[in-house]
Amino acid sequence: MRIAVVGTGYVGLVTGTCLADSGNRVTCLDINADKIARLQKGEIPIYEPGLQGLVARNTAVGRLVFTTDTVAAIGSAEIVFLAVGTPPSADGAADLSALWKVIDSIAAHLDPLAVIVTKSTVPVGTCAGIEKRLLVLTGRACRVASNPEVLKEGAAIEDFQKPDRVVVGVRSADVADVLRNLYAPFLRTENPFLVMSPESSEMTKYVANALLATKISFMNEVANLCERMEADIDDVRRGIGHDSRIGFAFLFPGVGYGGSCFPKDVQALAAMARDKGLVPRMLNAVHETNILQKHILGQKIAASFGGHLAGRKIAIWGLAFKPRTDDIRDAPAIDLIEQLLAGAAQVTVYDPEAMANVRAIYGNRLIYSTCAMDALNGAECLAIVTEWGDFHHPDFDDMARRMAAPVIFDGRNLYSPADMHARGFTYHSIGKSPVIGS
């Protein structure tokens, strides 16, 4: 099929590339000329495992092209995916300004039979709004569908190529058939292709993310309680996870959820509820709990220095909002950096992939280390914020030698407290009593 993908970010680039890889002819369109120029040269503007090779293979055979030219991208497309950003506006509701700009710019060039598909996460009623707007702009009823994206950054290719389900929201069986045919190569293991109304499909995406965020905030809240009750959250996690009604997924406590989806989607769903006169008590609590949790490490570190951070040398491992991505949008590390810099600490940071993005924000206000171990030289404590694989089995003796004091604030519970105690570290984790170095 001939496909246009509008918005070549984390979702659009992965979507376009995977659809090209299954034999379609895909044109990725973006208004960011610099991004498109880099992609045309074979440079990948984001870090996503496996993406570089897949882009190279499909551009080489001409199935995947990048452009800023709306007419060239849209004119011949049978399916147009909308994958632009939908960030939160001041009141938490999704800001759809980029999406409406796209609709206005593509309307005149759409094939009458083209199917326009929202992949961006959009509030319930957006498909209906697009149908109305395109009717005005084109003078005809256009075929509009919802197909929310469920990929996870860091595993995006695998998620797209082997989805546990594909959800589409359509008004007619023929549009469902177009999308069923498109996704057939990815659903060969009989995972479901779920057809529903656009409204249910749009809601499904928000409810999925809000429920996952709820699990995280709940576990973080009880983890903080465990610390004060001398209980161990990992034991509790194991104790509840074997209950088949609960399961183990998303039960790890930490420093709060970040990224471009959970924080904004929880707020957007709450805004939808408020808009309909409902009070989103649980969603509000999930969001507020998360904001507090993002400050937990900073508070513990400040307390350990008697509230005085000025001049303290603090190392941070992990800046991306999760491992295997360079994405720092709403990342807990940013909250921690803000807290430490506000206290005039001297902060040295290291992340395997996200350094450039952090440097673009903080410039010379931070010290950037080229490897995890060097970040520790002279540090009075280490904060671990992202659970990159590299951090799971470090050389603890080397760490202790480099640090001015062997003190770790682990926001991801990577190590055994007993083991750290035996090694002479003072070790603070989430949801467990701290151990003081021997």
Ligand X SMILES: NC(=O)c1ccc[n+]([C@@H]2O[C@H](COP(=O)([O-])OP(=O)(O)OC[C@H]3O[C@@H](n4cnc5c(N)ncnc54)[C@H](O)[C@@H]3O)[C@@H](O)[C@H]2O)c1
| Whole-angstrom distance, CA of residue 356 vs CA of residue 284 | 33
Neighbours of 423 (CB within 10 A): 17
Torsions phi, psi of 330, nearest 5? 55, 25
How many residues touch ligand X under the rule CB under 6 A: the total is 26
**Residue 264, token pair as written in the block:** 């904004």
Quick one: which of 25, 35, 237, 287 contacts ligand X (CB under 6 A)? 35
| Binding positions for ligand X, 245-304, rule CB under 6 A | 260-261
Nearer to ligand X, 17 or 348 (CB): 17
Mutual orientation of helices 51-60 and 10-21 as an angle, nearest 10°?
A: 50
- Contact residue for ligand X among 4, 5, 8, 204 (CB under 6 A): 8
**Residue 151 engages ligand X in binding (rule: CB under 6 A):** yes
The encoded tokens of residue 405 equal 């004091």
> d(Cα 394, Cα 410) in Å, to the nearest integer?
13
- The distance in angstroms from the start CA to the end CA of the chain is 65
CB of 101 or CB of 242, closer to ligand X: 101
Alpha-carbon distances of 423 from 101, 132, 245, 396, 418, rounded to whole Å:
58, 65, 39, 8, 9
Angle, helices 198-229 vs 281-293, to 10°: value is 50
Interatomic CA distance for residues 179 and 186, integer angstroms = 12
Beta strands 313-317 and 193-196 are: unpaired
List the one residue from 3, 12, 115, 223 that touches ligand X (CB under 6 A).
12
Of 11 and 271, which has the nearer Cβ to ligand X?
A: 11
Nearer to ligand X, 39 or 226 (CB): 39
Q: Which of 21, 24, 39, 85 binds ligand X (CB under 6 A)?
A: 85
CB-closest chain residue to ligand X: 9
165 lies in the binding site for ligand X (CB under 6 A): no
Catalytic residue among 226, 261, 371, 381: 261
List the interface residues with ligand X, window 388-427 (CB under 6 A): none
Give the residue from 11, 37, 15 showing the smallest Cα distance to 122. Answer: 11
Annotated catalytic, 261? Answer: yes
Nearer to ligand X, 81 or 409 (CB): 81
Residue identified by tokens 């099929």 is: 1
For ligand X, which stretch binds (CB under 6 A), given 8-16, 286-294, 390-398, 421-429? 8-16
| Residues 6+ away with beta carbon under 8 Å from 277 | none
> Does residue number 169 form part of the binding site for ligand X (CB under 6 A)?
no
| CB atoms inside a 10 Å sphere around CB 313 | 18
Stretch that binds ligand X, among 78-86, 123-131, 229-237, 410-418 (CB under 6 A): 78-86
Q: Which stretch binds ligand X (CB under 6 A): 28-36, 129-137, 178-186, 344-352?
A: 28-36
Of 12 and 352, which has the nearer Cβ to ligand X?
12
Query: Which of the residues are catalytic?
Result: 261
Which residues form the interface with ligand X (CB under 6 A)? 6-12, 29-32, 35, 83-86, 98, 101-102, 120-121, 149, 151, 153, 260-261
